[in-house]
Structure 1
Amino acid sequence: MFAKGQTVIQLFEQFSPKHYAIPDDRIGLQLGTLNKEIRSILVALDVTDKVVDEAIDLGVDLIIAHHAIIFRPLKQLQTDTPAGKLYEKLIKHDIAVYIAHTNLDVAEGGINDMMAAALELSGLTPLEEVHTEKLYKLVVFVPKSHHRKVLDALFQAGAGYIGNYSHCSFNIDGTGTFKPEEGSKPYLGEVGTLEEAQEVRVEVIVPDNVHRKAVQAMLKAHPYEEVAYDLYSVDLKGRTFGLGRAGKLPKPLTLGELNEKVKAVFDVPVCRVVGDPSKTVRKVAVLGGSGSRYIRHAIFAGADVLVTGDIDYHTAHDALAAGLCLIDPGHNIEKIMKTGVADILRAKLIEHKYATEITASQVNTEPFQFL
């Protein structure tokens, strides 16, 4: 069985939800329809003419890419322009294009985590926080016979996390009263009779991204026809998500040694480097894409070096004056997302027993040549 387009995106957004994106970012479905069966998906960094040709050759129904193909509202669609020809080709071959940009940068396990993992960084923190997880408290009253079943269902749905602790709950024994009215089918007691039942009040913290799933899991495990429960927001800070990462190397390296490692793991022929190649570096900041704006963030995080793309001349001077080293391997190192996203989404589709195929694009979209 092949997944529908909406199902593919629902599974993808479990990992990289839209609300992680910075305001006004061009994300989501940009061309085509998801209201169809998806037999094959191509994951790409950029949607170029060669990438579209690759998708056509593979019989792809959907491209999931990092960089948008539509940056601003279209006033007209002329098929004799490069962009117009690209859109026309996609439409003629019924290939939809879905974009995950800063939400994929921010996501746990997303591009910045992929970059950090490639450099074996540990103790990761975001360079800039952009989203704080909203938390709820779910309170439900459960008969003692089903206490463990309901609690396990909540934990399996993702409830009960507080910081680095899982399976957190508070449970109070008490007596519940109810009177089944005409037309009811009570699990306990009889219609028209006031009943008392030994119940447990269960309290768990539920993050926003799973609160609906947790409620449904609780209702499914609960034996009552009408379940008494409360769900309310709490003034607690959940997990924070952000752009970039800062973390420590497994062992200190010189800037020159780290540069060689960057070239190897990101498969780039050359990097621009700011700083003394013999300087020892221990803490590294990484940010996929254009990182000139994040010099101060890297310094504030205590990084010795920032690995990012598109560093301009004046920013390089500012970093040098501040004592921050830079390694610029180019914007295209975000290509690490191709295999990363393909692996993650493939696992989710297999888990749900879908036969939809996923391929990481083999097209090199680096526009620069190093001569």
Structure 2
Amino acid sequence: MSLKVKDFYQFLDTLAPLRIAEKKDSNGLQIGSFEAVVSGIVLAVNPSLSLFKEAVKRGYNLAITHHPMFYQPLYSLNWDEYPGNLISFAIENKLNLLSWHTPLDKVSFGVSEALARAFDFETEDFVLKEEEGFGYGKVVKLKNCVKLEALAKKVKETLKTWVMLVGDPDKEVEKIAICGGAGGFLKEYLKGKGINTLITSDVKYHQAFSALEEGFNFILIDHGISESFVLRVLKEKIENFLAEKKVNLGIYLHKEESPYKII
């Protein structure tokens, strides 16, 4: 038995339904054909040339990424520049690309839950629930009250990457929230819940400054790394899907370094 790209599309849609995607989001088939027979799968946060080359090297023809290839409008395609070089490489090598973005952010097992589990955090509910089983961010009740600096150090030690702190390092916290990816928009929702600390990514200067004035704390981490943990969950679910179908396909989890270098 063989599986086609459309079979994985349908499977992903059952896990994280496309109907819950943000209106301006880009999901599903980005490059390729629904009818292509899948020879193997590579998983990554981002579509990249290194990812596609890894797929070709392994003889795999399906890439599944969290971030989409096409998010902003493209007005021209130059094969010699990004993203044209990436698209042309995929086409020339008959690669297929599926991207699953905000649906994977919103499901209960998704980006924020997977990140929380990396720290052995027990989550309660969504920070912003849209409907039963779907929403953004997760509320976390820590086992013990800890200083903000100690919590930030735990995050750094677990992720083995840079961490930035917005807030009083000596402030004690017990109930916090976590949101993989850019979760700064959740600050006002958290304040309404009496929660003053959020682990997330991509908070801009003015938002950080106002948070400091308000007594709200951010522990900031790399966007891509924060979302990478859901790929492990996705890999396991795909492996179970393949086992049910009695299909043997290789699955490779592509590791990406942070684009930021702290010097």
- Taking structure 2 as the reference length, the TM-score comes to 0.93
- Percent sequence identity over aligned pairs: 27
Deviation at 1:325, TM superposition (A): 1.2
The alpha-carbon deviation at position 8 of structure 1 amounts to 1.6
Maintained 8 Å contact 2:203/2:220: yes
Task: Flag the structure with higher strand content.
Answer: 1
* Equivalent of residue 278 in structure 1, options 164, 167, 170: 170
Distance 1:90 1:300 in 2: 46
Moved more, 67-76 or 328-337: 67-76
Amino acid at match of 1:292: G
Which sections of structure 2, spanning at least 5 residues, go unmatched? Answer: none
Alpha-carbon deviation of 1:365?
A: 4.1
Aligned residue type for 1:63: A
CA distance in 2, matches of 1:328, 1:253: 17
Mark the CA change 1:285 to 1:296 in structure 2 (over 3 Å): closer, same or farther. same
Deviation of 1:101 after TM superposition, in Å, equals 0.7
Determine if the alignment matches structure 1 residue 110 to structure 2 residue 110.
Answer: yes
2:228 aligned residue (323, 335, 339): 335
Aligned-partner Cα distance in 1 for 2:194–2:181: 21
Amino acid at match of 2:198: L
Show CA shifts across 1:274-299 (max 9, x none).
11222211112111112222211222
Report the equivalent of 1:54. 54
Distance 1:123 1:361, change over 3 A: closer
Gaps of 5+ in 1: 133-238
Choose between structure 1 and 2: higher helix proportion. Answer: 2
Q: Bigger radius of gyration, 1 or 2?
A: 1
Letter in 2 for 1:361: H
Secondary structure of 1:82 counterpart: coil
Q: 1:352 to 1:264 in 2, by over 3 A?
A: farther
| CA positional deviation for 1:123 | 4.5
1:14 is the counterpart of 2:14: yes
Q: How does 1:9-158 map to 2 (within 5 A)?
A: 9-130=9-130, 132=131
Normalising by structure 1, we get a TM-score of 0.67
* Letter in structure 2 aligned against 1:261: K
Q: Which residue of 1 aligns with 2:190?
A: 298
Number of the residue aligned with 2:158: 265
Q: Deviations over 1:98-152 (max 9, x none)?
A: 111110000121111101222333342212233x2xxxxxxxxxxxxxxxxxxxx
Give the Å deviation of 1:240. Answer: 4.4
The corresponding residue for 1:168 is none
C-alpha separation in 2, matches of 1:59 and 1:79:
23
Mapping of residues 346-365 of structure 1, within 5 Å: 346-362=239-255, 364-365=256-257
